[in-house]
Amino acid sequence: MLNYGIFVPHPPAILPGVADAEIKNYEATIRALLSIALELKKNPPQTLVVLSPHADAEINRFLIRVPKAAGFTADLSELRTRLEPKTYQRDRILTAQLIESLNSAGLNTGLLEEAQLDAATAIPLHFLTSALPEFELVNIATSLAGIPEHCKLGEVIAELAEKSSKSIALIASGELSHKLTKTSPLGFAPAAEAWEENLLQAVANQSYAEVFHADPFELDAISESGVRPLAALLAAFEKSSHLTRILAHEAPGGIGLATIILTKRA
């Protein structure tokens, strides 16, 4: 059963040792991630399904990570963090079922054999799993296909989760506009701030259609990297009774970071 839906950012600066002088700028995000970790501890999911926009994204294929090794590796040493590498066990059964279900739904899929997780997957996992007992992992790279394809991805995951006897959490990693201020790394888009506020208000109101029908030209103009994973997450919960909470929203460095949790109602 799909019990949790989580949308999280992945700024390297929140890791110990990467940018300690700047970490105070990310306090809201870190607090939100740790609060989710404590919530997951109370009712631990057995499998985490993580969607990443940075895991070798292809134009029209969803890539599922299936390493030849027994599990996944999260080595973030390239970011100069003080963290030791971690390993995660993969859910072989759910992964196989997911590949079959996606193909049956007409979605293009491919396989990633590399065991090393990308940063957009590994950074949130460091926080979210800090209080979890044993769990297994499924890792999916979102694609550059349209939002409708990502909504279908979320629907397939939800259908599969409902058939499973396991408790499952769907985690969508992504960040919002990269053009919120004049100091943003990709420049400044005057419309970005209003776009971001409107998006989050729509999510808070569970008006998910506004996300599903986002203008692709507008998305390109404000340089986001999270709407596709977010759309998949929201589509997975759209037909169920659930609570949506925006736990944090901040923009250090001019990049929009939102932390959101969806939980099934009893």
Ordered structural domains, the chain, with CATH: 2-264 (3.40.830.10)
| Residue 253 DSSP one-character state | G
Residues of the chain under the 70 pLDDT cut: none
Rg (CA), the chain: 17
Residue among 9, 56, 44, 45 at smallest CA distance from 30: 9
Cα 41 to Cα 39: distance, rounded to the nearest angstrom = 5
Q: What is the pLDDT of residue 116?
A: 96
CB atoms inside a 10 Å sphere around CB 207: 11
pLDDT value for 128: 98
Helices (H) and strands (E) in the chain, counts: 8, 10
pLDDT (0 to 100) of residue 68 = 85
